[in-house]
Structure 1
Amino acid sequence: MPHVIRAPPPAIAPPAGALIARSQSRWTTDMVVVVAAFNEYDPLDLPRWMRHDKHVTFYVYQRHNASLPHYSPNLGWEGGVYIQFVLEHYEDLPKQIAFVQAHPEEHNPDWRKWLGCVRPDAAWATLNPLYIVRPWTYFARRHGDVVPLVEQCWRNTLAAFGLRELLASRARPDVAFFCCAQLVVSREQLRSRGRAAFLAAHQHFAGAGAHGTCHQGPLRWHELSTPLLCTEKMLACAKRGDKDACACGGCRHANRSGEPWCSVCKSWKTACNPQLASSADVSTKHTMASAFEHLHHVFLGGQPFVMPPPTPEMWCRMFLPDAECIGSPCRLEAANDGALPLVVAGISLAP
């Protein structure tokens, strides 16, 4: 059987801020894999990748039954689980934590090999090869009505982690990252954010009344780039002579002020205000989960907002060489033959 932790946490927690010495830690391995499951597993028939390994402990959350141990509210998809684990174990974090979804093999069939090859001194490592470049125009097309709330959620998440300065007001949140929020982070890297940051993020997403939407009350329109983006799209439509300029380019809430062509967007709130933006019922897939999907490398891993394309040297900062660890993505000799584990998606950030 694998090392699968299913017992509830200790009844008596250490004092806040009192870090536990390694000799007193509950963890028997340096690497702990935190699994964000819903109800995918039969307790008597666990996935094969949860096999016995003296180097790895599996810690499985479930979001189906609040009366069972290791319950996490089903908000924000895997993001809520990741934050909850850090909060619950902040004083006794393992040396390295791998955060994965219920079926990590769907995103990287070799993730288990990669996990075994993570450098012991790595502060951050991705467990996915898919590198994605996404300008904010992608989100305007995809999310339509709720895109201002998505942007507000991103900004609130950065603010919770003390990183508000990374995205100036009105700046477009163009991003480049590794897909699917499956990663390894060291306890030192997580603690560099401070427990208060994780608590603030948790209260945003899963606290009383938050409903996973990342924001309550009116949106802070003066911060958002989305109104400017919408206005630009409407003006472009008007120049082309489109009769329904407000409806094109993702601004589907037509001219509320009665002005023809929407050639001037006097007020975002009256001309293009997405009615869902203030709703607490918006799916957390597009708010909290979106923030984690696209920004986990920033607030968990300490990486740049727009990550540069991976290089052989980058892979080898995260993983042991494949000559030492079979299956590692650190393959310097592959740099010239196209065999590097890199899949690029998305489009250029250039205008």
Structure 2
Amino acid sequence: MNSPLVNSGGKPSKWKKNKLVIIPAIFKEINWADHSSWPLWLRKGLDLFNKNNSRSYDIHLYQRLDPDSKPPYNWPYCHNVHEEAGVYLKFISDYYYDLPDKMLFIHARPEHHSLYPIDAVQCIRDDVAYTSVNDIWLQERPWGAGLRDPTDNLTLMYKCARRLLTLFGFNGEAQLSPDYSISTNYSVISAMCCAQFYVRKERIRHYTYAQWSSVYNASLQPYCTTSRDRELPGRPGIKWFGGGFELIWHIILGLEPANMPPPRAKTNTDLCHLFRPSCKGSLCGNGIIKFLTHSKPSKTNHTSVNTTLL
């Protein structure tokens, strides 16, 4: 049986020891008033529907619709900002001193970027501190794509990501553009796509509460670096803060370079170093990773999808 944790203040923890906690970023993807329509994976992790203490995971659910948390939105409130990043940062800010041992941060429709993300997390090796659970690889996505700030000719996404890294104590420019011989507009990023990941509390605490707080507070500001990247929460359009974060989680929590080498079998990038092979949803062995390959930044930006067997 999972016993209670003790938090960093010496008090009993909210969480059970070694129990996975899933934090989904949900907005209007479910009918909040009709619990029976909620997806099974969501109901399975909530006490409201499942009283089994031996279930494989718990869920911490935020709603982003009613600051007063009145029914049917009677769940903890999170500001509706910056797509999934707003929810992820809210959870870390709320529970930095009382984090679960293991966490899975996912989208409202987690299967859109991975066939079995909740199954995949059950296959992660015990010594892994962080990994994506998605099966899409971004190969050499150029930072030079997208709208630019005319004052410095840098893209709004690049400028926001650079600022966010700076708040964590990085030299954002050096981290995103390590080759000083080329323009930042020709720098690229390679990593697993789309901000669904497993992480242990020790890796989150690699950074101080003050650093996480500064990033969370930045998420509540009207724009990231300039009024040109001002966002309209809940409305269509590019989300510079959330989009920038989506491209740098592997730097922040994975401690990886911006332009990671792609996963290849029987190398130190092999996903079998992260996942056990013999369980459903594992990204090890015979799994298929879809490679989203971008053209070189010096050319017209174009993407194509290739499927590669690892």
Q: Which category of TM-score, normalised to the shorter sequence, fits these structures?
A: 0.7 to 0.9
After TM superposition, list the pairs within 5 Å mapping 1:22-101 onto structure 2: 24-28=12-16, 29-43=18-32, 44-45=35-36, 46-50=38-42, 51=44, 54-68=55-69, 69-101=75-107
For structure 2, which runs of at least 5 residues remain unmatched after alignment?
A: 1-5, 46-53, 70-74, 299-310
One-letter amino acid matched to 1:25: S
Decide which of 344, 348, 351 is 2:291's aligned counterpart: 344
**Structure with greater helix share of residues:** 1
In the alignment, the residues of structure 2 paired with residue 24 and residue 215 of structure 1 have an alpha-carbon distance, to the nearest angstrom, of 40
In the alignment, the residues of structure 2 paired with residue 40 and residue 112 of structure 1 have an alpha-carbon distance, to the nearest angstrom, of 18
Look at both structures and tell me which one has the larger radius of gyration over its CA atoms: 1
What stretches of structure 1 move > 6 A for 4+ residues in a row? Answer: none
**Structure with greater strand share of residues:** 2
- Compared CA separation, residues 285 and 76, structure 1 to 2 (3 A): farther
In the other structure, the counterpart of 1:167 is 176
Q: Secondary structure at the match of 1:181?
A: coil
In the alignment, the residues of structure 2 paired with residue 320 and residue 57 of structure 1 have an alpha-carbon distance, to the nearest angstrom, of 22
One-letter amino acid matched to 1:156: R
After TM superposition, list the pairs within 5 Å mapping 1:260-271 onto structure 2: none
- Compared CA separation, residues 343 and 91, structure 1 to 2 (3 A): same
Q: Secondary structure at the match of 1:85?
A: helix
After TM superposition, list the pairs within 5 Å mapping 1:179-258 onto structure 2: 179-206=193-220, 210-211=221-222, 213-216=223-226
Contact 2:62–2:78 (8 Å) recurs in 1: yes
- Compared CA separation, residues 70 and 301, structure 1 to 2 (3 A): farther
Displacement of 1:154 in angstroms is 1.1
Aligned residues: 259
Percent identity, please: 27
In the alignment, the residues of structure 2 paired with residue 120 and residue 288 of structure 1 have an alpha-carbon distance, to the nearest angstrom, of 32
Displacement of 1:32 in angstroms is 0.7
One-letter amino acid matched to 1:195: Y
Q: Deviations over 1:258-299 (max 9, x none)?
A: xxxxxxxxxxxxxxxxxx737576978331111112111111
In the other structure, the counterpart of 2:261 is 308
- Compared CA separation, residues 149 and 80, structure 1 to 2 (3 A): same
Contact 1:189–1:302 (8 Å) recurs in 2: no
For structure 1, which runs of at least 5 residues remain unmatched after alignment?
A: 1-13, 217-275, 335-339
Displacement of 1:144 in angstroms is 5.7
Displacement of 1:156 in angstroms is 0.6
Contact 2:25–2:87 (8 Å) recurs in 1: yes
- Compared CA separation, residues 106 and 278, structure 1 to 2 (3 A): closer
Contact 2:231–2:239 (8 Å) recurs in 1: no
Q: Secondary structure at the match of 2:248?
A: helix
